Amino acid sequence: MEKLRETIHNAKLTKTQQTIAEFILDHSGDACFMTSTEIAARLKVSESSVIRFARSLGYTGFMDFQKNLRKEFQNQVHHISSAITVPSQRMAEIAKKGTSGDYLKQHFQNVISNIEEMFSNNGLHTFEDAADIIVRSTQKYVTATRGDTALADYASLYLKHMVSNVINTSSACMTPVDQLINIRKEDCLLIFGFPRYSSLDHATVRMAKDAGAQIIVVTDKPSSLLAQYSSVLITVPVDSNSFNNSLAAAQFTTECLLEAVSHRVHGIEKRLQKIDEYLDELGTY
């Protein structure tokens, strides 16, 4: 849907039209087959607003827009949208599509598509703004739950190599809420959250918001559960052709953020040399 996203991004949309755009981008599979009346009823807007939205993008009307939407959707039907969050339901959807002998190539294409969409959705300034917050903050809290903790662990490890006071909230004996009890407005929270969104993540980000801390949210879309709390929002799709989210693009996004931080910090070489002194003794690299 990259072409459509770019068209929407360049269009001057009203608040209502932006709501329609977000729905169509988040539910493109459904929107392909919904009438303008059905979309209007779903979003509690007028049908004329849906038609004006289509015309604002350069189409003659909604049917013309939907024809193009279906064409774009057909180009990506090999993946299962992250909008389908329950693993068993995703497997049922995969069964409907049938098994392809070229599934590894399809997975590769999904990853590339997700990365390209991430670049389309986030400019360099987004990563630079996030990096500035991390460097300026006193305490840097990093959090995620379940499968997303791989991203938080990776980010925490390499942030610790560059800056001080990095706190990974993943722990077997306490929740992120326990870890954030001392968070203050001079601190920041870096949180990773993808479907199915965790209520624990929601509580954690609200806790940081109530404290006045800056919040960097890495999630799949602007309408996600956590996006509304962000000081800086980084969106990256996790669509895949399997029952689980594909985190390859999210991992790459994390690397981009770390790269941005590395360009804003001095003295990294000395920190790395100190770490290596002890790693050489242990033989663990």
Instruction: Check: CB of residue 4 under 8 Å from CB of residue 25.
Output: yes
pLDDT at 174: 83
Q: State whether residue 71 is helix, strand or coil.
A: helix
pLDDT at 94: 57
Round to whole Å and give the CA distance between 145 and 165. 21
Instruction: Check: CB of residue 87 under 8 Å from CB of residue 78.
Output: no
Instruction: Give the pTM.
Output: 0.69
pLDDT at 275: 83
- Residue 66: φ, ψ to 5°: -65, -35
pLDDT at 109: 83
pLDDT at 90: 56
Instruction: Check: CB of residue 39 under 8 Å from CB of residue 29.
Output: no
Round to whole Å and give the CA distance between 4 and 7. 5
pLDDT at 4: 80
Intervals of the chain under pLDDT 50 = 77-78
Residues 131-167 pLDDT 10s? 999 999 999 999 999 889 999 999 999 999 999 999 9
Give 186's DSSP letter.
Answer: T
